[in-house]
Amino acid sequence: MKILVTGATGFLGSHLVKKLLKQGHEVAILKRSFSDIWRIATSLSQLWVYNLDECELNQPFKDHGKFDAVIHAATCYGRNNESIQQVVETNIIFPLKLLEVAASFGTDTFFNTDTFFNTDSIQYTYLNGYALSKKHFVEWGKQFANKGKICFVNVKLEHIYGQQDDASKFTMCIIKDCINNVAEIELSPGEQKRDFINIVDVVAAYSLLLSKISMQPKLFQEYELGTGKPISIKNFVEAVHQLTKSKSVLKFGATPYRENEIMISFANIAKLEELGWKPTIDLLTGIKIIIENQSTN
């Protein structure tokens, strides 16, 4: 297949790109000229690379014709003091333009990477602008699909983690702090539950969905992607602490919950299981892999 990927230099996108290449697909990526390419540096020679700040959005389509699928993995969380305008541009305007271009060139399927923050009632103050922008784009995707322009597959991700994740992410911060024996780690009470899913299983799910393109009607499709088994933040942190044999003091309750904290979130994976997918890496194994990788670097 011919596949176009956004967010290819990021955590999820880079793993997807390497998997697609390994499977023999032809892959084009959209990035910026100043993007940090460390995750895909060894794969660049195998890719069709387009810098968004140096070409028109339709250039890959002009050069290579119809793409069988677009996998949209780029996002802006707004964590780094980005303005609301920047969040909207990245999470709504850019993918909407890409969706329109892809549909006009006859692309069969547009895979959108959504988030568990995107709920029917957005009350979570933290990352609220991000969640709202993701919700709005999905509504546009539904409109395109319902008009028969393209099949829009919305993948609603739970708490993804794994090797080469951003150092600023919660899972990586906890693992590194424990490895480094930071004197004290201040945490919330930790009773909120999250569905932690390893990047390997996430990529496997995307790969399976991609293989089912010909079976998808040109309608809106949505899949929740996680393990379906939430655990508390406290249990996660304690597992990391034990596996790293850390001397850090865990201070649960030292910081309050965020306003309108989501206390439990997990995926309903029944639809993916019907297609033959299931998670293969349990949380303890996933944590051990990261720890071993950190120890050798």
For residue 228, give the 3-state DSSP assignment. Answer: coil
User: For the chain, first and last CA: distance in Å?
Assistant: 35
Residues in the chain: 297
Question: Which two three-digit tokens encode residue 59?
Answer: 């250039």
How far apart CA 154 and CA 80 sit, in angstroms, is: 26
State the angle between helix axes of 233-243 and 170-179 in degrees (0 to 180), rounded to the nearest 10.
30
Of 130, 161, 206, 223, which one is the catalytic site residue?
130
How far apart CA 15 and CA 9 sit, in angstroms, is: 9
What are the distances in angstroms from CA 289 to CA 164, 177, 296? 11, 16, 11
Q: Is 130 a catalytic residue?
A: yes
For 147-279, where are the alpha helices, taking DSSP H only? 170-179, 199-211, 233-243, 270-274
Rg of the chain over all Cα atoms, to the nearest angstrom? 19
The answer to whether 151 and 112 are in contact (CB under 8 A) is no
How far apart CA 275 and CA 138 sit, in angstroms, is: 23
Any idea which residues carry the catalytic annotation?
Answer: 130
